[in-house]
Structure 1
């Protein structure tokens, strides 16, 4: 049996017993997630569309496990209460479940027999859906985990009245589904994956928990398509601030990209950051070509793609392995998986291997060209040893970089009672200014109301249309956003403001940089550009303030945004 499920796939009843034991040791139970284990790795297979014998053979050839697939209710229950277990859409599920290769089965709450095929909302329809899931559990005892619905906070997989509901209203419908399924006798020893959210939409997820959903689920299922991998640990930390998240695992049941060239690095970054975030299971999307341009494990010829080669290796040597997270500074990221594989990336700088037993590879496992190594924000440096343990702190010598502060790498989401000017401000103090009034920025969970980001962001209740995310800003009015950098030593600095002003902005954005001595420089931005300011000389403890304003009109003022402060002298030395 998959090792992950022998350890973590406990039913809600078993988890309750564990909880009672752990409450005897509250200090231990309250420890934060350590991120010492890589998530169990799976892939998304579309077997509910039918049987693919050649694909099944490839799955067996590479011993792929923890697959996520689904079932179409209407293909199995064609008459009320009558189930067709030999439907072609179930043949692959039957074969893979017997081999214990299925990590979770997604069930969708729609069948034309009930409510015309709309997402069921009536008590009778929900009871029929729950009965079907119970029958599936009885038919497939080897499948331990059932995911209820898919991306239920979006309108992509719902129909009828449910589609007209707000996400928070739909959260309550989801809880009704969960409660009915949990009551099925055959589900007593199964794990239920609930929430089923697109993005780390903590506002929607918290609504599910507050409506009672936590009583019926073992884990929260997320698809963090709107998150950068470097932000996942902090975003999940915000999600876990809700007391009812205690005891619930987090599974990323879809992650993937349409960027063919960048997909291998995208994959490794996610595996590292999900380990740091204590994610229990991570499922790449998709296994095979799906026609939506997402990069698959197997290409049209059913051979491993370059990304598939990385995923196949990770399935063998990374999945579920002890992981050591490497963060020598806020601008550098890395992980050692087990003892013989590591990844590292971050602010551009030279790198040198000090251990001859370690080989540097491209993210897709191909050989690197040239002897010189360097770090990059976009592409990971993949390191593999011949069996000797890798220690990134001693086996990799990193050269200097010029970054002093970075609004992306040091983005903060303050806990309740703090704001982005108090506590740990992560390189910058951040606040809004409206005329002469300062508006502090706190954390909003994401999707807590209409027209807000679907992930935790910075906000202020008095500026309801404003939203600051790690790589973007919506001003939403005559407001000025400020980032204040505090010098840690005497020296000269350069300021870079990277923007991507949306085309709907009526007259662009103004960008001002003010030194503590009153020196002011202001530039206008439209479209995609990086504005450079400086050099600016600062003494230890002095500040420089970078402000974004709406220019003459605030109409349509939204933009990509990244602010960096770099050492001017070090910058010249590295060129």
Structure 2
């Protein structure tokens, strides 16, 4: 079951800016907004600059009046206003006193009077955090119920002040960091949603797929509100540095996160940011390296804007859980998933990469986003059975065969216990995104990417081990590969136990990174395979990233090929393996100078038949993209043989039908 709240009001892709701060955001930078074609701009004003003297408002500085030209261009900007930083009130700390809240509310009213076409204001930025740039004074507290009450008082003060003069202005609240469903519950308890129209957040610290899971939980929390208080959802910052992951990871993140947000009820989202902020803690996140100089993620952004810019709904299509397909409208789908063979059928099919460049129809999906366009298109994957990351479900519906459990181990033995959804930032010392856990087992937790066990041992063993359980949905042999990476803070590493129906079949002990590979495991429908993360002595610092996949058994694929296929597309950074791209030397088999029609050529494991004449035939074994051993490779051929293979539907490369490439097993090559 896929829990998806489909957007019905459309989706707008904007960009976060700092025109209110200056720096590269001068007058010469205005044209860059037109280049990326952002649907809206998020910006801010500095309270102290506008109200240098209490009760006197000055918008003459270009950093304070830039909204004039933004609004004149027909934009619908979001203006973020921080209730701190003005020494006229509470010594510049967060507005908490009645006098300071009144002063801030008067400032907001002055801003709206100065810019009457401004219809969206955001109060606060990452208010649930503790960065002194955004919260200070009484707001910088670990007392979360009090923190929520303080924010509610501020929102009420603003709402009461502007309501009569500007009743059509949308009040956006919080700009919360992550998807902190626990802190949102504190806001609900404080009555905050009586005074805001929209809840804004920044899904940092989450993969796109995990953001979708967190949004399912957030929506379920907000749905408990009266209809009159239920806010819409908006993301006023999201982004990923180009320094994270392999080349193109930021562009893929952009598309994936947009699809996940839009298909889970988010109305608008702003990429952070327009320009790179080199030297900061969030460097290389901009669409521009500098004024006038775009980068590769800007190319992906502009292409994506052409697909979602009209504000159409984005919906997730029901498919096998190892494959993600999102309908963007107008016959276009965004597709990614676990590594597997891919079949596209339909009319007028064209495929583009994440940057919008037309590419040949791929026969294999490698985790990168592709856009598929056509009529009556069917998208099917083959070979991948299960993926613990893509099919993780906070709701624990059992979709894809996966569930998560807690193994309680003590002197009386071991028992498996179910888990519950824990609110992100429900407590000040817990992570800010929702996770699976138990109120009786803190700090134990499991989420889509990480697991953390707990050790309550004193004089005897008393452990709480995270368990990923797969229940076979069909019978047959499978290949299993699982990767783990334990934090450097771990005192003694982890031990991973793989158990088939309760019996251990493999074990991994690591203090760093490691993989498990199991081949040809015969499963009957209903069999359980448990992946149990145990401490290797104690659980101190044992935060572990993991990714588990099951594939259809392929006897022709080597253990190393399977490992490389997995680690080069899993969610662990730093365990990638360089794949050879140059052909390796092979021993040529003796063949006749002339190859008669329908001659059969045999290698050590192959049984490949050629047809056609010998004219221009050239066959060469080459290393496949997913191969590092010569047991598997590709046949590159040209001339009549290529044309014959092309007509037969073989996998092709180059300018067809002059060249063709097909997969093979065995070591062999032939030349005329």
The structure where helix makes up a greater share of residues is: 1
Q: Is residue 345 of structure 1 aligned with residue 336 of structure 2?
A: yes
Structure 1 position 531, deviation (Å): 1.8
Q: Secondary structure at the match of 2:38?
A: coil
CA distance in structure 2 between the partners assigned to 1:137 and 1:271 by the alignment: 30
In the alignment, structure 1 residue 521 sits paired with structure 2 residue 506: yes
**1:142 aligned onto 2:124:** no
Deviation at 1:340, TM superposition (A): 4.9
Contact 2:339 2:364 in 1 (8 A): yes
Once the two structures are TM-superposed, the CA of residue 188 in structure 1 deviates from its matched residue by: 2.2
* Cα offset, 1:406, TM superposition: 2.1
3-state secondary structure, aligned to 1:241: helix
Q: Displacement, 1:367?
A: 4.5
Find the counterpart in structure 2 of residue 3 from structure 1. none
Range with greater deviation from structure 2 (269-278 or 564-573): 564-573
After superposition, the Cα gap between the structure-2 partners of 1:71 and 1:248, relative to the gap in structure 1 and judged at 3 Å, is same
The normalised TM-score by structure 2 is 0.74
Shift of 1:424: 3.5
> Shift in Å at residue 346 of structure 1?
0.4
* Residue number in structure 1 paired with 2:16: 44
Q: Is the 8 A contact 2:347 2:377 kept in 1?
A: no
Q: After the TM superposition, which of the residue ranges 81-90 and 354-363 deviates more from structure 2?
A: 354-363
Q: Which has the higher contact order (CA 8 A, sep 6+)?
A: 1
1:209 aligns with 2:224: no
Which secondary structure does the structure 1 equivalent of 2:149 belong to? Answer: helix
Moved more, 333-342 or 473-482: 333-342
Correspondent of 1:189 among 165, 168, 175:
168
Shift of 1:282: 1.0
Q: Deviations over 1:521-543 (max 9, x none)?
A: 32212212222234432222222
Match of 2:438 in 1: 460
Q: What are the residue-to-residue correspondences of 1:203-282 with 2, within 5 Å?
A: 203-242=182-221, 243-244=224-225, 246=227, 247-259=230-242, 261-282=248-269
How far does residue 138 in structure 1 lie from its aligned partner after superposition? 1.5
**Corresponding residue number in structure 2 for 1:127:** 102
Larger radius of gyration: 2
The 5-angstrom pairing of residues 394-413 of structure 1 reads: 394-403=376-385, 405-413=386-394
1:25 paired residue number: none
- Aligned partners of 1:198 and 1:571: how far apart in 2? 47
Q: Which shifted more, 113-122 or 321-330?
A: 321-330
Q: Is residue 505–residue 555 contact of structure 1 (8 Å, CA) maintained in 2?
A: yes
> What are the ranges of 5 or more consecutive residues in structure 2 without an aligned counterpart?
456-462, 563-631, 633-672
Q: 1:489 aligns with which of 470, 474, 477?
A: 474
- Residue 74 of structure 1: how far off its partner (Å): 0.5
Per the alignment, do residues 527 and 554 of structure 1 end up closer, same or farther by CA in structure 2, a change over 3 Å counting? same
- 8 A Cα contact 1:56 1:92, kept in partner: no
1:159 is the counterpart of 2:148? no
Secondary structure (helix, strand or coil) at the match of 2:102 reads helix
TM-superposed CA distance for 1:336, in Å, is 2.9
Q: Check conservation: 1:510, 1:550, Cα contact below 8 A.
A: yes
Is contact 2:36–2:301 with CA below 8 Å preserved after alignment?
no
Aligned to 2:369: 380
Deviation at 1:485, TM superposition (A): 2.1
Match of 2:93 in 1: 118
Q: Deviations over 1:366-404 (max 9, x none)?
A: 354x66443222x201235xxxxx35xx4355341232x
Looking at structure 1, the residues matched to 344 and 472 of structure 2 have their Cα atoms a distance apart, in angstroms, of 32
Instruction: After superposing the two structures, state which structure 1 stretch, 427-436 or 193-202, moved more.
Output: 427-436
1:483 to 1:335, Cα distance in 2 relative to 1, 3 A: closer
Q: State the partner residue of 1:23.
A: none
Cα deviation per residue 1:68-108 (whole Å; 9 max; x = unaligned)?
A: 00111000001110000212212322211233314310000
Note closer, same or farther for the CA distance 1:532–1:293 as it changes in structure 2 (3 Å cut).
Answer: same
Q: Does structure 2 conserve the Cα–Cα contact (< 8 Å) formed by 1:471 and 1:562?
A: yes
Against the structure 1 CA distance between its residues 198 and 566, is the aligned structure 2 distance closer, same or farther, given a 3 Å change threshold?
same
- Structure-1 separation of matches of 2:543 and 2:314: 38
CA distance in 2, matches of 1:487, 1:62: 47
Deviations 1:309-352 (A, max 9, x none): 22223334313113342341111112232315332110112335
- d(CA) in 2 for partners of 1:198 and 1:106? 15
- Other-structure match for 2:532: 547
SS for the counterpart of 2:32 is helix
Deviation (angstroms), 1:59: 2.3
Match of 1:288 in 2: 275
Do the aligned residues in 2 keep the contact of 1:98 with 1:142 (CA within 8 Å)?
Answer: no
* Pairs within 5 Å for 1:44-123: 44-50=16-22, 52-60=26-34, 63-110=37-84, 111-123=86-98
In the alignment, is the contact (CA less than 8 A) between 1:69 and 1:102 conserved in 2? no
Task: Look up the match of 2:298.
Answer: 308
CA distance in 2, matches of 1:37, 1:122: 39
Q: C-alpha deviations, 1:241-267, integer Å up to 9, x for none? A: 221285311101111110263222111
Query: Residues 476 and 168 of structure 1: is their aligned pair in 2 closer, same or farther, counting only changes over 3 Å?
Result: farther
The CA deviation at 1:176 is: 1.2
Distance 1:287 1:373, change over 3 A: farther
- Compared with structure 1, are the counterparts of its residues 353 and 563 closer, same or farther at alpha carbon in structure 2 (3 Å cutoff)? closer
Cα distance, 1:140 vs structure 2: 1.1
Answer yes or no: is the 8 Å Cα contact 2:443–2:452 preserved in 1.
yes
Paired with 1:571 and 1:506, the residues of 2 have a C-alpha distance of 40
Distance 1:162 1:144 in 2: 27
Q: For 2:226 and 2:370, locate their aligned partners in 1 and report how far apart those are by CA, in whole Å.
A: 34
Distance 1:154 1:411 in 2: 27
Match of 1:11 in 2: none
Deviation of 1:213 (Å): 0.7
Q: How big is the shift at 1:568?
A: 2.4
2-structure distance, mates of 1:481, 1:517 = 15
> 1:245 & 1:267 partners in 2: Cα distance?
33
Count of aligned pairs: 528
